[in-house]
Amino acid sequence: MNQNRRVTVKVDDLVKRYRELVAVDHLSLEIYENEIFGLLGPNGSGKSTLINSILALLKFEQGEVEIFGKKMSPTEYDLKQQIGLVPQEPAVYQELTVYENIDYFCGLYIKDKVHKKNLVEQAIEFVGLNDFVKFHPPKLSGGLLRRLNLACGIAHQPKLIFLDEPTVAVDPQSRNRILEGIKELRAQGSTIIYTTHYMEEVEILCDRLAIMDKGNILVSGTSEEIISMSSLEESIDLEIYDLSEEFLQDLKRNSEFSHVNYHEGKLTLQTKQDGKGLLGILHLLEENDIEPISVSSKKPTLNDVFLEITGKDLKDNA
């Protein structure tokens, strides 16, 4: 499927060292047009170094970065024209109002005054800061400040947007607004590279993602693909009274199930993630005239997979 899509960002065999430390280690990556690509990894995994190398802000020892099919360099202004950056820390001028900040950053890309004015107004509308245009950043709440940070990065309507943890320390209302906004940007045709520590955001937002650690991409694909690559199993919990020892032994002998355990009316077991396990146990119960009081199933999450792959909990590293 991906073979038919145009590549927006191509990273080939990138190596970046900080003295002895290899921050990015022979990394190759392709990000396709009009997708939201999630970049996950614990602190120090090389995410920021990768992004800064793609943006040609960092020198690197080896490799090549192409954006829209052209080799990226610090003076490639035509390419820079089409890129927007939303850094993790709000990068806005404290001395300028909300409107002026967006106007300033948009003006770095857009020369035509009328067009710029329209874009600034659209960006304000987009992030829902209409009531705060005359406010200075110190007067804004954390969430509103993040929205301003986002607006400054996307006002010129770039085709490629780098979003570095845009929802950190943001209230739920602002977070939803930002997430909706990101989906809308994709709908408008932008390609988005999104780094975050929030797994639920990745599952909701990203078309594809890559898990990084120690300067390498450990695994990439859609979240379903990544979860299915994992050796982790689906966990099934059933509440059943008076389960016979014979049935229990049959279950333990059944190769479809593992970690079968029955204690005080609660049966827990694990099965493969293909969904057949749940149907299988329900079928067996029916055959043996056993009626469960409740059934629940829990598939492994991206966080579980992340923990399995990197040995670190993503949230603990946030």
Partner 1 sequence: MLNHLLKYYSKIYFYNKANIMWNFIFPFIYITIFFLALSGLNKPQPEFSEDPIRLAIIADEQQEATDLAGFLENFGQEGLDQQESGKTVGTKQENLYLRFTFSDPKTAKELLEEQKIQAIIRADDPTVIEEYNDLSNLKAGLLSQFLETYESVRKTTVAISERYLSGDYEFEQSQADLEAVHQEAIDLFAADSTETESSTSSVLIFFFSAIAYIAFYPINAGVSTLEEINANQSTLGLRNSTAPISKTKMFFALFVPRWIIHCLFTLLIYLYVNLLGINLGHNYLQISLLLILCTTCSVLIGTAIGALFSFSQGLKVGISVALPLTLGFASGMMHNGMPRIISQYIPWFSKINPIGIVSNGLYILYSDPTLNRFYQQIIMLSIITFIAFILTIIGLRRNSYESL
Residues that bind partner 1 (CB under 8 A): 18, 48, 52, 55-59, 74-75, 77-78, 80-81, 83, 85, 87, 89-96, 100, 104-105, 107-109, 111, 152-153
Around Cβ 241, how many Cβ atoms within 10 Å? 11
Residues linked to residue 235 through DSSP beta bridges, in sequence order: 270, 298
Q: Select 18 or 255, whichever has its Cβ closest to partner 1.
A: 18
**Residue 70 burial class via C-beta count within 10 angstroms: exposed 0-12, middle 13-18, buried 19 and up:** exposed
Q: Select 55 or 314, whichever has its Cβ closest to partner 1.
A: 55
To partner 1, the closest distance from the beta carbon of 151 in angstroms equals: 12
183 in Cβ contact with 192 (< 8 Å)? no
To partner 1, the closest distance from the beta carbon of 56 in angstroms equals: 6
Q: Select 164 or 213, whichever has its Cβ closest to partner 1.
A: 164
Instruction: State how far Cα 132 lies from the chain centre.
Output: 29
Q: Select 109 or 306, whichever has its Cβ closest to partner 1.
A: 109
To partner 1, the closest distance from the beta carbon of 159 in angstroms equals: 13
To partner 1, the closest distance from the beta carbon of 179 in angstroms equals: 22
What would the two tokens of residue 154 be?
């996307």
To partner 1, the closest distance from the beta carbon of 50 in angstroms equals: 12
To partner 1, the closest distance from the beta carbon of 144 in angstroms equals: 17
Q: Select 104 or 247, whichever has its Cβ closest to partner 1.
A: 104
Q: Select 108 or 293, whichever has its Cβ closest to partner 1.
A: 108
Name the amino acid, one letter, at 261.
Answer: N
N- to C-terminal Cα separation, the chain: 33
The DSSP call for residue 99 is H
Instruction: Give the integer Cα–Cα distance in Å for 44 and 27.
Output: 15
Residues linked to residue 294 through DSSP beta bridges, in sequence order: 239
267 in Cβ contact with 240 (< 8 Å)? yes
